[in-house]
Amino acid sequence: MPVFDLIDLPPTGALLGLDLGEKTIGVAVSDATRSIASPLELIHKTRFTAEAERLFKLMDERRAGGIVIGLPVNMDGTEGVRCQSSRAFGRNLLRLRDIPIAFWDERMSSMAVNRMLIGEADVSRARRADLVDKAAAAWILQGALDRLKNAQP
């Protein structure tokens, strides 16, 4: 199975961003011009096939041309079990549908989102739990979008 880099994503069209948690998958989507990422949905994990079907439906509805999956790299740059799990998730998606997938280093995304929700948005702890995975997915996707924009000639 191929492992894609950001440059392997199609040059235009919306993208989905994923923050893979233990119990949920935060989903974000970009606009068609890839300027901004917005939180979209929180998928509660049940079984892989149902999760994949929901992601594919979201892709089709948004006409998304690819997926950016957050890769939880350790602070020292090494990849541990969580990275292996994220890569396996991507490989399993590819077994069901041939789609462009890229991985993006998500270090500090949840921490940054929590800090933003606490400090700037003053969101309660209960409400924050519902928002953090979707917001982290948007943070991950926005980082990838910014990188793609800066990499263009």
**Domain layout of the chain by residue ranges:** 11-147
Tens digits of residue pLDDT in 45-83: 999 999 999 999 999 999 999 999 999 888 788 888 999
* % of the chain at pLDDT higher than 70: 80
- The mean pLDDT value for 135-148 works out to 91
Residue 65 CB contacts under 8 Å (≥ 6 apart), including other chains: 9, 10, 12, 13, 14, 15, 100
Rounded average pLDDT over 128-151? 84
Which is the CATH superfamily of the domain at 11-147? YqgF/RNase H-like domain (3.30.420.140)
The angle at the Cα of 87, spanning 6 to 51, to the nearest 5 degrees, equals: 100
β partners of residue 38: 29
pTM, rounded to two decimals: 0.85
